[in-house]
Structure 1
Amino acid sequence: MRFMIIVKATPESEAGGWPEGSDKLFEAMGAYHEELARAGALLDASGLQPSSKGWRIRYGANDKRTVIDGPFTESKELVAGYTLIQTRTREEALEWTRRFPNPVGFDAQGVEIEVRQLYELEDFEGIAPKQEIEKFKEIGMK
């Protein structure tokens, strides 16, 4: 089972800033991710640049696509970073996420991380055509 731990953006992260005491935060994040890696649960992790360096694609009628350049105003709906883990059970993933360091510093309150389970190709069996699932497997998707 794969899970994504999603760190929400803050006005400070959207401005390209770092929380106060970020040296301690980086140490805590490093130790946490090192522990995940030793346990064989870490698949990937990264921070994201502010939305001012990104864009969105809006799909309209007749498949028309419009590019919308960042920044995006609602920082509470933006992602600042993620950690992708693989565990045997949902409960194991929950235990790992309970140990995730506070992403905006140790004294900050009112902060949340979000955890979402990823679909596995087996979840689409009976829904997607078998040959399409096989194509995804051939290119290395799970």
Structure 2
Amino acid sequence: MPSETVWNDAYARASAVAEALGYLIGDPLTWDFSSDGKAFVALDMSSSSIDSLELGDQQAQESGQICIMLWIPQGRMNTPTVLSIMNAFEAAFRTNPVDPDKRWPNGLFYDGQTYTPPSFLAQTGNWYVATLMVDYRWQNITEHTS
């Protein structure tokens, strides 16, 4: 199960990019995505797993994917624009912010990234979706409760 630490960091990074580009961003569990016909961004967590680091019962590593989906109204955005937007999101997970208060938490590592472009030939409807998937590892100490 994804941890709050990973979600909060990913949401902060994606939100900063979306805000800088002028797009709305939302949590898919709380936001009504029936947009007014403007492009928007959704952040979701793909499946994750947690394994012991074999350093004791309390140390574990969570790994999974963060999915950033740019929802594009049909006919409103060209390919170079979509690539530029997705590139901005990609960079947010590849670099550390200059502000030390906004750097990712110790033990959180962003690894490989995969981009899935909209499938124009097979897609019907009013929206296209471009997706950036960011692999992550989160090494933490599990808290035991009694």
Range into which the TM-score falls when normalised by the shorter chain: 0.3 to 0.5
Bigger proportion of residues as strand: 2
TM-score (norm 1): 0.40
Relative contact order, higher structure (CA 8 A, sep 6+): 1
Given the two structures, how large is their TM-score scaled by the length of structure 2? 0.39
